[in-house]
């Protein structure tokens, strides 16, 4: 009975997810044993199946292993770190410290189809910014060795240089599984924005086309990251790219927001004739001749007598009747003296903004140096991280891809110094929004001998050991700064506490539960030893809160789900998501307790298996009590 009741402590099985999607579309192609009959699938799809030997596609060394990596469930957990958090019990924001591949696997159940925007600024593969295990095998053990939580056993982690035979392949093997898993988190109208330079932009676009679908490519934005050329190169690149893909292009197109006019646009608006409709800008009234009808070739008389036929080679953009209707509505401008060529008045009050272009200049969204200065200002004029993105760039992306009032979730799984978190907080204050962020960052160790010697040296002197430390401290300092600046005298809003300025910190760690090793030696002595070790299979170092959050995550609840502590029959019971799930981690249970829990009619109940000891009758009765109330009952 124990085996059938045991709750699964692994992350979502991605292979099973994909198979179930296929089964939902084509149940007829599945043979006995839940195996796919390829011949039936080919017959079902007909001519849509490419059976030729030559086909267009992307292949590189290690790609097959990417799929194995994706399909391998995680047995890790995310442990809460209250002491490093801000407003742990009330905040909706998350900062997760750990390898993003494992973390993305752990988030699959809880955040499947819930994320509105993913923005990442991954390693550009410049030769020194990509840390990768030499044996290509990334999993929890790899992460634990990298962070010093397990003995190294001779395994090395190195940077990726162009002298390596698989320079591009290493980078693609790192990116492919992460993007594959990230796609699962997106809503149907979700968008992913990825910053990159010339080194890997072609490979990135092809990878995204394969994962998201070529038809779901939305844009390749050029961002002007510099203001002056690099004197060391013949032709200097003053820009980076931002690739934009979506989950569903038809839905996303109608959900990409217009941008509000910035100061650089509104300065072109004025109201010299005191029009009651407010400020306006004038636009040209002529158009290309092309196939223009004769009705667009006419002469216009200005109020003070000048005559204006269409300019040579051009026509008027409006039919004559339309022009005079607009003239009667005082929407035609002949200049201050009433004798200039006519132009059409466009009112600022009648515009809801403008669609974003794919050229983002640094006057509008900032540049590299601005990002550096922003971070130095936060850290008392110390340079502790090289070239973070400017917050204005991320806020532009938030403008395009999110809405202020619907709790949009924003994920950045290459979190760096925390620019995305700061941008989300500031954007929410700007438009009274309710966006939430999930930042994921590897606790990459800072070293003085690294490429960014000065930044790493300064950070180490200030007591920061990892990039994750810098990111967390940045968010804390931004929150303090906002609270200090929000006064009733100088703030639009009276109280900074109206906004979520906190974040919960979680750290990637091995599961709190021992996991059965099916590959072990099957000799009776070894098996018996393992069974005895599993009588109490909870890590003795694990706190009750550690276990609670692992169960939430593995049961498909988010890390910000509401948790209420209840007392039932003298025992502590956690009510999750308003009684949707009840969790009791007590090591002594009783039938009255099970009756009380079942009476609340939760969807699920989870208890510790060790709490039943050898009392099989108690477990049998508990199962029947839960079944009578249609409650799913599991043990761990």
Which pLDDT tens digit goes with each residue over 27-46? 877 877 778 877 777 777 77
Contact between residue 421 and residue 474 where contact means Cβ atoms under 8 Å apart = yes
Pairwise pLDDT comparison (187 vs 288), residue with the higher score: 187
pLDDT at res. 545 = 97
Give which of 461, 424, 419 is closest to 441, Cα–Cα. 419
pLDDT at res. 130 = 58
Residue 2 has pLDDT above 50, yes or no: no
* Overall average pLDDT of the 149-172 stretch: 66
Pairing, β 186-196 against β 115-120: parallel
Which CA distances in Å does 84 have to 81, 285, 323, 468? 6, 61, 65, 11
Name the token pair of 281: 């800008």
Contact between residue 160 and residue 168 where contact means Cβ atoms under 8 Å apart = no
* Overall average pLDDT of the 446-463 stretch: 80
Q: How many CA atoms lie within 13 A of 391 on its CB side?
A: 19
Pairwise pLDDT comparison (595 vs 450), residue with the higher score: 595
Name the token pair of 156: 């090395």
pLDDT at res. 134 = 40
Confidence of residue 292 (pLDDT cuts 50, 70, 90): confident
Per the prediction, the chain carries an average pLDDT of 86
Interatomic CA distance for residues 68 and 137, integer angstroms:
10
Predicted TM-score of the model (pTM): 0.81
* Overall average pLDDT of the 173-188 stretch: 95
Residue 67 has pLDDT above 70, yes or no: yes
Task: Dump pLDDT digits (tens) for 472-525.
Answer: 999 999 999 998 887 645 555 456 667 899 999 999 999 999 775 555 566 666
Residue 471 has pLDDT above 60, yes or no: yes
Confidence of residue 228 (pLDDT cuts 50, 70, 90): confident
Give which of 196, 265, 190 is closest to 225, Cα–Cα. 196
Give which of 439, 432, 394 is closest to 93, Cα–Cα. 439
Interatomic CA distance for residues 509 and 88, integer angstroms:
19
Beta strands in 348-435 (DSSP E): 359-360, 409-412
Q: How many CA atoms lie within 13 A of 287 on its CB side?
A: 13
Confidence of residue 614 (pLDDT cuts 50, 70, 90): confident
pLDDT at res. 19 = 82
Give which of 271, 272, 263, 269 is closest to 281, Cα–Cα. 269
Confidence of residue 135 (pLDDT cuts 50, 70, 90): very low
Task: Dump pLDDT digits (tens) for 552-586.
Answer: 999 999 999 999 999 999 999 999 999 999 999 99
Residue 614 DSSP label:
T
What residue ranges do the domains of the chain occupy?
12-71, 77-260+355-508, 263-350, 513-635
Give which of 149, 159, 63 is closest to 99, Cα–Cα. 149
pLDDT at res. 99 = 92
User: How many degrees, rounded to 5, is the angle at CA 617 between CA 613 and CA 622?
Assistant: 90
Residue 54 DSSP label:
-
Greatest mean pLDDT among 119-123, 134-138, 293-297, 497-501 lies in 119-123
pLDDT at res. 17 = 81
Task: State the SS3 of 422-452.
Answer: HHHHHHHHHHCCCCEEEEEECCCECCCCCCC
Pairing, β 436-441 against β 409-412: parallel
pLDDT at res. 502 = 97
Greatest mean pLDDT among 326-335, 350-359, 453-462 lies in 326-335
Bridge partners (DSSP) listed for residue 161:
none
- Percentage above 70 pLDDT, the chain: 84
Pairwise pLDDT comparison (496 vs 444), residue with the higher score: 444
* Overall average pLDDT of the 220-228 stretch: 91
Domain 77-260+355-508 CATH class label? alpha beta
User: Is 385 exposed, middle or buried (CB count within 10 Å of its CB: 0-12, 13-18, 19+)?
Assistant: buried
Interatomic CA distance for residues 410 and 186, integer angstroms:
10
Residue 1 has pLDDT above 50, yes or no: no
Bridge partners (DSSP) listed for residue 78:
508
Beta strands in 358-473 (DSSP E): 359-360, 409-412, 436-441
Residue 400 makes CB contacts below 8 A (sequence gap 6+) with 191, 256, 257, 259, 356
Q: Which DSSP string corresponds to 527-584?
A: HHHHHHHTTT-B-TT--HHHHHHHHHHHTT--TT--EEEEEETTEEEEEETTTTEEEE
Question: Phi, psi (5° rounding) for residue 565?
Answer: -90, 125
Interatomic CA distance for residues 554 and 504, integer angstroms:
18
């Amino acid at each position: 009975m124990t085996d059938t009741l045991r709750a699964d402590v692994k992350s979502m099985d991605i292979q099973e997810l994909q198979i179930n999607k296929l089964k939902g579309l084509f149940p007829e192609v599945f043979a006995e044993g839940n195996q796919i009959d390829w011949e039936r699938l080919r017959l079902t799809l007909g001519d849509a199946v490419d059976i030729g030997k030559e086909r267009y596609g992307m292949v590189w060394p290690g790609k097959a292993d990417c799929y194995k990596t994706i399909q391998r469930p995680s047995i890790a957990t995310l442990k809460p770190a209250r002491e490093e958090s801000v407003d742990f019990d009330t905040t909706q924001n998350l900062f997760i410290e750990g390898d993003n591949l494992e973390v993305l696997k752990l988030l699959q159940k809880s955040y499947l189809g819930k994320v509105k925007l993913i923005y990442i600024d991954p390693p550009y593969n410049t030769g020194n910014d990509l840390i990768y295990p030499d044996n290509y095998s990334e999993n929890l053990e790899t992460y634990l060795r990298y962070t010093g939580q397990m003995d190294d056993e001779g395994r090395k982690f190195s940077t990726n240089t162009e002298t390596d035979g698989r320079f591009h392949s290493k980078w693609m093997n790192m990116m492919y599984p992460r993007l594959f898993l990230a796609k699962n988190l997106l809503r149907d109208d979700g968008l992913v924005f990825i910053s990159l330079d010339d080194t890997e932009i072609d490979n990135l676009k092809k990878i995204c086309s394969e994962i998201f679908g070529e038809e779901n490519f939305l844009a390749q934005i050029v961002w002007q990251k510099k203001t002056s050329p690099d004197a060391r190169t013949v032709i200097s690149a003053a820009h980076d790219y931002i690739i934009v893909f979506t989950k569903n292009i038809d839905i996303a197109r109608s959900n990409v927001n217009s941008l509000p006019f910035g100061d650089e646009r509104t300065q072109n608006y004025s109201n010299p004739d005191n029009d009651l409709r407010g400020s306006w800008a004038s636009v040209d009234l002529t158009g290309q001749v092309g196939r223009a009808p004769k009705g667009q070739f006419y002469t216009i008389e200005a109020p003070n007598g000048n005559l204006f036929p269409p300019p040579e080679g051009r026509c008027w953009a409006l039919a004559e009747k339309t022009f005079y209707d607009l003239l009667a509505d005082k929407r035609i401008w002949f200049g201050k003296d009433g004798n200039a060529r006519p132009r059409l008045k466009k009112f600022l009050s009648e515009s809801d903004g403008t669609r974003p272009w794919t050229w983002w200049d640094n006057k509008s969204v900032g540049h590299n140096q601005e990002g550096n200065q922003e971070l130095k200002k936060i850290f008392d004029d110390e340079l502790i991280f090289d070239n973070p993105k400017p917050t204005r760039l991320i806020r532009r992306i938030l403008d395009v891809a999110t809405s202020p009032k619907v709790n949009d979730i924003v994920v950045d799984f290459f979190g760096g110094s925390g620019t995305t978190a700061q941008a989300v907080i500031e954007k929410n204050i700007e438009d009274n929004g309710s966006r939430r962020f999930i930042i994921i960052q590897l606790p990459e160790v800072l070293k003085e001998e690294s490429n960014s010697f000065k930044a790493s040296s300064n950070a180490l002197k200030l007591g920061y050991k990892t990039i994750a430390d810098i990111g967390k401290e940045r968010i804390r300092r931004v929150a303090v700064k906002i609270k200090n600046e929000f006064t009733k005298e100088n703030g639009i809003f009276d109280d900074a506490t109206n906004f979520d300025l906190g974040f919960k910190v979680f750290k990637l760690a091995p599961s709190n539960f021992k996991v059965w090793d099916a590959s072990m030696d099957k000799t009776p002595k070894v098996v018996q030893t393992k069974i005895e070790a599993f009588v109490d299979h909870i890590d003795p170092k694990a706190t009750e809160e550690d276990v609670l959050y692992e169960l939430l995550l593995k049961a498909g609840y988010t890390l910000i789900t509401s948790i209420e502590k209840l007392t039932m029959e003298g025992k502590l019971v956690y009510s999750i998501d308003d009684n949707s799930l009840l969790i009791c981690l007590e090591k002594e249970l009783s039938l009255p307790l099970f009756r009380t829990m079942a009476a609340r009619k939760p969807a699920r109940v989870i208890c510790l298996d060790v709490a039943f000891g050898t009392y099989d009758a108690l477990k049998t009765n508990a199962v029947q009590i839960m079944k009578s109330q249609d409650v799913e009952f599991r043990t761990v």
